[in-house]
Chain A
């Protein structure tokens, strides 16, 4: 920093009420305007890219394409308003069974992959947050799985999991990974966790990097061991970042598409997800029901996200963690004094 910068401010300037200390909830009109100014570009872009497709999907989901042929063999033109029939039909008969299967697969994949990714991602972050030679290299190499385009890594794993591929070769088995069955699910989970654990790892690592070292020092002086430090400092302080990382993984996992599609193949019930189902419907030109699936998936994702936020308190807008950190800072101050 240049010399024009004032001397690094002490984080805990002694005494006196600070000018911006206001009760949360006190708002000045200036800040509101400022906030509107800062937020509007974001909202504008998102409205353009998402609102329009969402609206059109909602609209489309209320219609059904004519699929009958006229006497010349042409598909009848136009579409008819069917109200919520595309939604209600989802739950009955053959297509109902398929929908429920896809819903179950989606949920199963989400729970298993996100859980494994979280555990693994935390381990990655803890490992990367230690000092050792070649740490930069490790950090960069951990990025590799995330950096390989999904379509390419899907192909790579398909190759690895071939009947005579390297996976069977190494473990001496003859598992038909890409055939229907539980092993196909396992293959998807292995590949997905491999690919996305780095996402959580990197975000959590960044969260760990902003924890002041002094907090740990204070804890060490108190005689807290590594596990105590992990449990009472690291985890609580990275929790907000971790929750955001997990939340975004949840959203992605619920919409999983490319990996099972490329790795196992379309139309395999063992791995068919809701996104694949929506794709298949639109591929078969049933845009109405494809849109209905997309909307249902959207609502399902929203529901999970809300439940997640509610249960675990991904308190992004709130101030709880800020206070925690300050408390940490105060502890540190006390110790330092």
Chain B
């Protein structure tokens, strides 16, 4: 009896809180609309105000970004740039950026954005369109400029870029009598057949990419579709994963799992696990980003493949050339910051060819200027840059959609279901197409 009364009182208490909450609704909630609307539109006129600004980014472990900022600060005593550090995790970075845009905080002035966030931030008016001719876009890799644009307007200044590379074991290919890296999956499979027949390669697997349910799977799926001659979205922004090309691409991946070309635990691989498997001599071929190069060449005994690997473009499927997606970062200006003129000048300075070149001393991040990727002095240090440039010139951006989060989730969900044989590739693609159509209809 008593028990019941107490618990009823607790229930009442909870309810009281809820009801008082309802009653007070007027003072809660959001008056979000308003500010944003006026902030927008005329781009050129928007860049006014000078003074201190904040640059918001995850830390650059190499220290190169800080060097650029220090140089700027030395030259602009009245327009100091402060580095606000964000977490290492991209999810958390985006969450912080979105939160601050939500409350229209003027703290975040210059934002360091992943290329895939461009459309979303632009469409939500969380970044400003850059004035025409603000940047020397003609001397940058076109795909990077494309990835920094939304509906043909440039919103971001390309900062650095990333493309897919195929790492392969030169020593084993040579031993197996294969003289050139494979141009497509057929050649790669054939090369593996020969290599894996070698006694020294008995326990190895042929190939790995990144297949965990993660952004990296979207990358690998998009590349497979692109390498089969397809596209995830067409030029008008309509999803096109119900095409034979997309099916060929996904089927190539699922077959690679079925046939054991890919080790079964690759379903848990992100970039690092694959890097490590290759580095320890467990893989003949690896799809990965350029960052792997410095680990593979490490001479501290951690790498088993020093001087035993080569780099080429990712393989095509059928007669199509291999296609890389594009990674990297852009800098953009928040509409809520006071000192937009300073912010614009700063991103011009920061992403200039000169600063990009200066950062190469410390940073392994690939600049967006072909002239630097081909610079003999640079290539001597990083012999894979010409291959990377080639890869980037063929690169396709990942889907350029406003609702990128939901889009990439849908892609990962269905591609993962196909790779784990939960669905047939046909079914997975049909479901993916349906989800993407629903998203683009919204």
Contact = CB atoms under 8 A, between A and B. Distances in A.
Direct interface between A and B, CB < 8 A:
yes
Interface of A: 51-52, 54-56, 58-60, 67-69, 72-75, 77-79, 94, 162-164, 174, 176, 178-180, 265-268, 280, 283-285, 302, 305-306, 309-310, 313, 315, 317-318, 320
Which of A67, A78, A163, A268 lies at the interface centre, i.e. has the most chain B CB atoms within 10 A of its CB?
Answer: A163
B124 A285 contact: yes
Given A73-B151, A180-B416, 19 more contacts: A55-B27, A59-B25, A59-B28, A67-B442, A72-B151, A73-B123, A77-B36, A77-B37, A79-B33, A163-B265, A163-B268, A164-B265, A176-B264, A267-B412, A283-B98, A284-B403, A302-B14, A310-B4, A315-B6
Contacts of B27: 55
A170 to B, nearest CB: 17
Contacts of B4: 310
Given A74-B40, A267-B412, A310-B3, A285 B28 contact: no
Interface of B: 2-4, 6-7, 9-11, 14, 17-18, 20-22, 24-25, 27-30, 32-33, 36-37, 40, 91, 94-95, 98, 122-125, 150-151, 212-214, 264-265, 267-268, 273, 402-403, 405-406, 409, 412-413, 416, 420, 435, 442
B28 A52 contact: yes
B43 to A, nearest CB: 12
20 contacts: A55-B22, A55-B24, A55-B27, A56-B29, A60-B30, A69-B123, A74-B40, A77-B37, A78-B33, A162-B273, A163-B273, A174-B264, A179-B268, A180-B213, A283-B405, A306-B11, A309-B7, A310-B7, A315-B2, A320-B2
A315 B2 CA distance: 9
Contacts of A310: 3-4, 7
B353 to A, nearest CB: 30
Contacts of A265: 212-214
Contacts of A267: 213, 409, 412-413
Given A284-B406, A310-B3, A162 B268 contact: yes
Nearest to A54: B21
A67 B28 contact: no
Given A60-B29, A72-B151, A306 B3 contact: no
A268 B213 contact: yes
A176 B267 contact: yes
A176 B24 contact: no
A302 B15 CA distance: 10
Contacts of B25: 55, 58-59
Contact of B268 (A56, A67, A74, A176): A176
The 8 nearest A-B residue pairs measured at CB: A55-B28, A163-B265, A59-B29, A56-B28, A310-B7, A73-B151, A55-B21, A284-B405
Contacts of A164: 265
B213 A58 contact: no
Contacts, number: 122
B98 A77 contact: no
Contacts of B273: 162-163
A283 B122 CA distance: 16
Given A77-B33, A306-B14, A179 B267 contact: yes
Contact of A51 (B11, B17, B36, B98): B17
A255 to B, nearest CB: 15
Nearest to B441: A68
A73 B150 contact: yes
B6 A317 contact: yes
B10 A306 contact: yes
Contacts of A67: 403, 442
Which of B22, B29, B267 lies at the interface centre, i.e. has the most chain A CB atoms within 10 A of its CB?
Answer: B29
Contacts of B409: 267, 280, 284
Which of A54, A265, A267, A305 lies at the interface centre, i.e. has the most chain B CB atoms within 10 A of its CB?
Answer: A267
A310 B11 CA distance: 10
A268 B267 CA distance: 13
Contacts of A162: 268, 273
B298 to A, nearest CB: 20
A54 B2 CA distance: 31
Contacts of A176: 264-265, 267-268
A332 B32 CA distance: 67
A59 B416 CA distance: 37
B21 A51 contact: yes
B265 A266 contact: no
Contact of A58 (B9, B21, B150): B21
Contacts of B28: 52, 55-56, 58-59
A254 to B, nearest CB: 14
Given A55-B27, A58-B22, A75-B123, A283 B95 contact: yes
Contacts of A51: 17, 20-21, 24
B121 to A, nearest CB: 10
Contacts of B268: 162-163, 176, 178-179
A73 B11 CA distance: 48
A55 B20 CA distance: 9
Contacts of A77: 33, 36-37
Contacts of A178: 212, 268
A315 B3 contact: yes
Given A73-B150, A310-B7, A285 B442 contact: no
A72 B151 CA distance: 8
Contact of A180 (B24, B98, B420): B420
B393 to A, nearest CB: 27
Contacts of A320: 2
A124 B40 CA distance: 60
A74 B335 CA distance: 14
A54 B405 contact: no
Contacts of B402: 69, 73, 75
Nearest to A175: B265
A309 B150 contact: no
Contacts of A283: 91, 94-95, 98, 405
B90 to A, nearest CB: 11
A114 B403 CA distance: 37
Contacts of A78: 32-33
A94 B414 CA distance: 13
B161 to A, nearest CB: 24
Contacts of A280: 409
A54 B254 CA distance: 46
A68 B403 CA distance: 10
Contact of B10 (A58, A60, A309): A309
Contacts of B95: 283
Contacts of B265: 163-164, 174, 176
A89 to B, nearest CB: 13
Nearest to B3: A313
A67 to B, nearest CB: 5
